[in-house]
Copies of this chain bind each other. A is one copy, B any other.
Amino acid sequence: MTVRSRQKLTLNDVARGCGVSRATVSLVLRGSPLVHADTRAKVEAEIRRIGYIYNRAAANLRSQTYSSVGLVVNDLSNPFFAEFAAGVDEALAEVGYVTLLGSTGESVQRQQAVLASLAEHAPAGIILSPAEGSDGAAVARVVGAHLPILVFNRELEGEWDYFVMDNLTGARLATEHLIALGHRRIAFYGGHRDSSSCRERREGYRQALANAGIEAEPRWCIETAPTRLEAARQAGALFVRDPAPTAAVCYNDAVALGLQLGLVARGRHPGSDFALVGFDDIPEAALSTPPLTTIATAPRARGRQAAERILERARDPSIAIEKRSIPVQLMIRESSCPPTEADGKAP
């Protein structure tokens, strides 16, 4: 006979060990006021003595309750998502829920696999930041019709809660800030053309320019992968012909920090002879040289909000769908400077 290496202790063992019934032990575990104080003490002592561990999966099965929430993001190595995930986990832990993690690496196919896998664990709901190119119907198919989903950060077709940063307003504020400083030749730098958040930010940029009577120069809309490295590499694209822009609104902080590096590599001095603004306010933004002016969104707090919302919906699936636009705030630091003398004179 093989050794049962992981003999588990069940509620039955506890009951037998202290001479009460399974049901009573269960009541103790759930803190019911029905059990007598002496009985409770006896049972609790036995639980500690034998080292019993509660099996929440079994409990959930019978009681049809939930104790986990799925969280699907692109990649935790993006500090914006890492912060967001930390916020989700914090809020869930406080109410005794556990976070089921899944990452897609921006692949729609992996996303389907990850969602299917999470759904099988019967979470109370899933918080999903969809990979680019996700299909809402496909998502609905794989998670089933009745699992609450909260879509974060990117558009996804379907009847779901949707929390998105106010990308348009954020980019508009950033652009207006640069205009107020005296800039007229302003680029929009970085991001993928077909990502919904990038489209919205570009639209905010366009609106601010239009309101100021400035015509947008299409060649100053530069597409890059939203990473520091790519952004650094493409910095030259801003200066291929005269006149060059004197400032840039960047798709996000990673791109902005990359652009700073790229500028330095070309002998420019971001914050003195070129102004830039980021988006997200990741922790590094305040610490770069120069500190980055950016749009703050407090991803950790957003994570908490998302967690709270998905639990609300799990409790009551009939509440109305909410499309929440998360407010943003302009954080002015030193990367956004007025144009230089020469640039100021010749717009």
Q: Are B79 and A75 in contact, CB atoms less than 8 angstroms apart?
A: no
User: How many angstroms from the CA of A18 to the CA of B101 in the assembled complex?
Assistant: 35
Instruction: Confirm or deny: A67 has a beta carbon within 8 angstroms of a beta carbon on chain B.
Output: yes
Closest to A78 in B: B82
User: How many angstroms from the CA of A50 to the CA of B289 in the assembled complex?
Assistant: 57
Least distance between A82 CB and chain B CB atoms (Å): 4
Q: Are A68 and B257 in contact, CB atoms less than 8 angstroms apart?
A: no
Mark A55-89 against chain B: 1 for CB-CB distance below 8 A, else 0: 11110110000011001000111010011011001
Least distance between A189 CB and chain B CB atoms (Å): 16
Q: Are A103 and B86 in contact, CB atoms less than 8 angstroms apart?
A: yes
Closest to A299 in B: B77
- Max chain B Cβ within 10 angstroms of own Cβ: one of A68, A77, A100, A114: A77
Closest to A291 in B: B261
Q: Are A287 and B121 in contact, CB atoms less than 8 angstroms apart?
A: no
Residues of B within 8 A of A321 (CB): none
Instruction: Confirm or deny: A283 has a beta carbon within 8 angstroms of a beta carbon on chain B.
Output: yes
Instruction: Confirm or deny: A21 has a beta carbon within 8 angstroms of a beta carbon on chain B.
Output: no
Q: Are B54 and A120 in contact, CB atoms less than 8 angstroms apart?
A: yes
Residues of B within 8 A of A144 (CB): 51, 53
Least distance between A146 CB and chain B CB atoms (Å): 5
User: How many angstroms from the CA of A71 to the CA of B100 in the assembled complex?
Assistant: 10
Q: Are A5 and B146 in contact, CB atoms less than 8 angstroms apart?
A: yes
Instruction: Confirm or deny: A117 has a beta carbon within 8 angstroms of a beta carbon on chain B.
Output: yes
Instruction: Confirm or deny: A98 has a beta carbon within 8 angstroms of a beta carbon on chain B.
Output: yes
Residues of B within 8 A of A102 (CB): 89, 93, 98-99
Residues of B within 8 A of A56 (CB): 120-122
Q: Are A146 and B6 in contact, CB atoms less than 8 angstroms apart?
A: yes
When A53-B144, A100-B98, A101-B99 are in contact, do A93 and B76 touch as well, CB less than 8 Å? Answer: no
Instruction: Confirm or deny: A228 has a beta carbon within 8 angstroms of a beta carbon on chain B.
Output: yes
Residues of B within 8 A of A85 (CB): 76, 101
Residues of B within 8 A of A57 (CB): 57, 60-61, 121-122
Q: Are B287 and A228 in contact, CB atoms less than 8 angstroms apart?
A: yes
For chain A, residues 105 to 141, give those with C-beta under 8 angstroms from any C-beta of chain B.
105, 110, 113-114, 117-122, 141
Instruction: Confirm or deny: A90 has a beta carbon within 8 angstroms of a beta carbon on chain B.
Output: yes
When A61-B61, A79-B82, A258-B287 are in contact, do A98 and B101 touch as well, CB less than 8 Å? Answer: yes
For chain A, residues 15 to 61, give those with C-beta under 8 angstroms from any C-beta of chain B.
51, 53-58, 60-61
Instruction: Confirm or deny: A240 has a beta carbon within 8 angstroms of a beta carbon on chain B.
Output: no
Which residue from B79, B82, B120 sits with its C-beta under 8 Å from A55?
Answer: B120
Instruction: Confirm or deny: A318 has a beta carbon within 8 angstroms of a beta carbon on chain B.
Output: yes
For chain A, residues 255 to 281, give those with C-beta under 8 angstroms from any C-beta of chain B.
257-258, 261, 264
Least distance between A123 CB and chain B CB atoms (Å): 10
Residues of B within 8 A of A60 (CB): 57
Least distance between A11 CB and chain B CB atoms (Å): 13
Closest to A66 in B: B6
29 contacts between A and B (CB under 8 A): A5-B318, A6-B317, A51-B141, A51-B144, A53-B143, A54-B120, A55-B61, A55-B120, A75-B86, A76-B76, A76-B85, A77-B79, A77-B283, A79-B79, A79-B82, A89-B101, A89-B102, A89-B103, A90-B103, A93-B102, A93-B103, A93-B113, A96-B117, A98-B102, A98-B118, A98-B121, A228-B287, A261-B287, A264-B289
